[in-house]
Structure 1
Amino acid sequence: MFTGLIEAVGRVIALEPLPEGGAQLTLEAFPMEVGESLAVNGVCLTVQHAEGNRLRFDLVPETLRRTNLGDLREGSLVNLERPLTPQSRIGGHFVQGHVDTTARLVETRPEGNAYVLRLQLQEPFYMRYIAPKGSIAVDGISLTVVEVGEDWFTVWIVPHTWQATNLSTRRIGDRLNIETDILARYVERLLSR
């Protein structure tokens, strides 16, 4: 479980496809232990190998299909967050690290000292879980939804988030990972019974 408050931005060293499917992702991050979890662009991954600041993860085919991790290249910047501990403050919202879908960045515009991003979901089915003033995780970042359309939504990015995450490196057409609010999914499930 995560909060969507990014701790650091890591750098991709390599993304190597495996012959049997899937891939291995190597990052420059911070020291961790084998077996620990780390959210990478909002995707919960398990450290398979650790050597100093270099971490390696195994990516299964489903992760490559459902997320933007397969789009990464050497030098790409990724958002990193370690899991909650009993002592952690919850400043964002509950983020599981289970990405639902991706969204294309279709607009970035400055607005005062902030930026407004408009994102178009690749699977409009998930719009049912996105509401104005609701929480959403975009590449692992806990954000508040501002506007909602048929297959798109907007979020505002404050200066600190713009500088402390990989959002400033994102370009029109890039895919960003989307995890909708778990509460909305549970409410739907309960009401459907």
Structure 2
Amino acid sequence: MFTGLIEEMGEILSVEKGNKALKLKIRCKKVLENAKLGDSIATNGTCLTATELGNDYFTADCMYETVKRTNLKRLKKGDKVNLEKSITLSTPLGGHLVTGDVDCEGVLKSITQEGIAKIYEIEIEHRYMKYIVEKGRVTLDGASLTVMKLGNSTFGVSLIPHTQEMITLGRKKVGDYINVETDLVGKYIERFMNFKDEPEKKSEGMTMEFLLKNGF
């Protein structure tokens, strides 16, 4: 689990493309402190396992599900990525509970200046909008942010200048892709409400019970 509070922006050193897979090598510093082989490090909000640790880098493998769902497939050498090490029970929860399981990619549709802040409007598949709540939390490239407005298939977040400097969203331009993780609670509620303990039995053709119910 993560908090959505970005510790640092790392730099992509290399991207190796395999058979429906990627291997990333990322330069960083803070997330390596006390890190161990096999630790989880959220990279643009995607929970990855550190498979190699160096003095100023780590590597991670990305399986097909990760490649398919996230913007990691779009990374190239020199790109910046948001990084956060997984939390412990003693970690202050300054953001919200983030799993590192990205739901989908969003597209940055507009950037609007409003006073000292900038409003970033993101478009996602309409089916994921049911999990986005005004004044609720959403995770964008691993950063925990507050939803400040809603559209049909879009939502907006607002960043102050400090946040713009600390996370990759502040560097993005219209048309860029962003990893989106919606709030975990809504997905569990939906699952509880729609789950049936026993599957409905399918009709096995014409029966006496069917004939009687239908007046025969």
Query: Per the shorter chain, which TM-score range?
Result: over 0.9
The within-5 A match list for 1:50-89 is 50-89=53-92
Mapped partners of 2:69, 2:61: distance in 1: 15
Query: In structure 2, how many angstroms separate the alpha carbons of the residues matched to 1:16 and 1:124?
Result: 33
Output the TM-score relative to the length of structure 1. Answer: 0.96
What is residue 2 of structure 1 aligned with on the other side? 2
State yes or no: 1:40 paired with 2:39: no
Match of 1:27 in 2: 26
Give the % identical residues: 38
Q: Which runs of 4+ in 1 moved over 2 A?
A: 30-33
Partner in structure 1 of residue 101 of structure 2 = 98
Instruction: Give the alignment's TM-score, normalised by structure 2.
Output: 0.86
Which secondary structure state, in structure 1, belongs to the residue aligned with residue 90 of structure 2? coil
Listed one character per residue, the Cα deviations across residues 87-123 of structure 1 (whole Å, up to 9, x for unaligned) are: 11111110000000010001011111111000000x2
Partner of 1:168: 170
Letter in 1 for 2:178: L
Aligned residues: 191
Q: Secondary structure at the match of 2:180?
A: strand
Deviation at 1:160, TM superposition (A): 1.9
Which residue of 1 is the match for residue 214 of structure 2? Answer: none
Structure 1: which 5+ runs fail to align?
none
Greater per-residue strand proportion:
1
* Higher alpha-carbon Rg: 2
For each residue in 1:155-190, what CA deviation from the matched residue of structure 2 results, as whole angstroms up to 9, or x when unmatched?
Answer: 111222111111222011110000000011111112
- Contact 2:20–2:67 (Cα < 8 Å) also in 1: no
